[in-house]
Structure 1
């Protein structure tokens, strides 16, 4: 499967609320917008189901949580999917894949939304910062970035190689966490990516040791 420029660009809008869209566009135009959104989201769904099927069986990940293309009131400004092992469905930590108008990201995260209903503390998750240097020695960290959860997904994030090379940056980074967590993963900027399912599976395999360290 190829990720195309159009898959990014369908998410590039000035406004995502149906209330606003109904005022701005005719019924026919709005139906066309919804049709295009759903078409790209169906591709997104197929991609993530394929990825889950191709992950090693011992990861125990069989049912990715694929977020809908709408929340009822708005079009999403990104497509998102969470990957959790079957035995860890009620934990805050997860692997995830996200597509927005700027980039495609494959990453490890702590899901803060409704986190009180799941297990896993912020402190325990952030302890992973002590493991990253050793973990990174076993992979190619090209295109890997690390960023505070509070940083907007469209901001320019810190390259992992720069983070690892500077104690000053590491100290500043931890101060930016502001009681929240960090995210780490591979960011692929808007472009065409053939066989994106293979790239996604390979990156999730690379991130799996960090995810498993929280289990």
Structure 2
């Protein structure tokens, strides 16, 4: 199960291996070992989420802890329905130095190959009426991953206008200090299930 110390591996002044070698070479091996160890717990957690979600979902994409020239500043994974693997609409899972989070998201890096457009993805806020999602966090992608996020109720009250190319995410978070107080995999799976109606809205008419 994920614990606060798994997020603490991101408390680094540098993430590029060349910088670590230059400024604190004595820490390089320890940093790499700690990152890999935390990532193995992350991978196991995501795999447990997959087991709970079932066959409707394709196997998760789990980003590696190191890309060869830097250790990651966060751990990232995503899920899609098996039938929507050609889409950039995803359930995004993220562990960073501040918190653990899961959200309905637009995978910008895959947008050019997506069978669903950004405009189709941006349909889901229209399905928020009724208050079922008011307690979820909702934020603009341009807010960044470390921002303080308002609830969907507050965001709706303030208006849902977006700049060209921007989009909303909606999800839930557990702050770093209390990550270990719940079963991370069960919590992540439950949040994904709760967001499935909004996910499906993105494919209406596709």
Q: Indicate whether the TM-score tops 0.5.
A: yes
Q: After the TM superposition, which residues 18-33 of structure 1 pair with which residues of structure 2 at under 5 Å, given as runs?
A: 18-26=17-25, 29-33=27-31
Indicate if the aligned counterparts of 1:53 and 1:62 stay in contact, CA closer than 8 A: no
Could you tell me which of 200, 210, 215 is aligned with 2:188?
200
Does the 8 Å CA contact 2:58/2:85 hold for their aligned counterparts?
no
Residues 122 and 180, structure 1, Cα contact 8 Å, conserved in 2: no
Tell me how far apart the structure 2 counterparts of residues 213 and 126 of structure 1 sit (CA, whole Å): 9
Between the two proteins, the alignment pairs up a number of residues equal to 201
Give the Cα–Cα distance (whole angstroms) in 1 for the partners of residues 11 and 188 of structure 2: 22
User: Structure 1 residue 193: deviation in Å?
Assistant: 2.9
**What CA distance in whole angstroms lies between the structure 1 residues aligned with 2:47 and 2:96?**
19
Counterpart-to-counterpart distance in 1, 2:71 and 2:128: 35
Name the TM-score, length of structure 1 as normaliser: 0.87
Residue 71 of structure 1: how far off its partner (Å): 2.2
Task: Write out aligned runs for 1:1-215 (5 A).
Answer: 1=1, 3-26=2-25, 29-57=27-55, 60-134=56-130, 136-137=131-132, 141-142=134-135, 144-164=136-156, 166=157, 169-170=158-159, 173-175=160-162, 177-190=163-176, 191=178, 192-215=180-203
Q: CA contact under 8 A between 2:124 and 2:199: conserved in structure 1?
A: no
Deviation track 1:119-157 (CA, whole Å, cap 9, x = no partner) reads: 2111111121111223x42x6x54x21111122111112
Give the RMSD, CA atoms, in angstroms. Answer: 1.6
Whether the 8 Å contact between 1:145 and 1:184 is mirrored in structure 2 is yes
Q: For structure 1, which runs of at least 5 residues remain unmatched after alignment? A: none
Corresponding residue SS for 2:142: coil
TM-score, normalising length: structure 2: 0.91
Cα drift, residue 95 of structure 1: 0.7
- Distance in 2 between the 1:67 and 1:78 partners? 10
Q: 1:56: how far off?
A: 4.0
Q: Deviations over 1:18-75 (max 9, x none)?
A: 110111223x521111000000000000000010011144xx1140000111222211
Runs of at least 4 residues off by over 3 Å: none
Higher alpha-carbon deviation: 190-199 or 100-109: 190-199
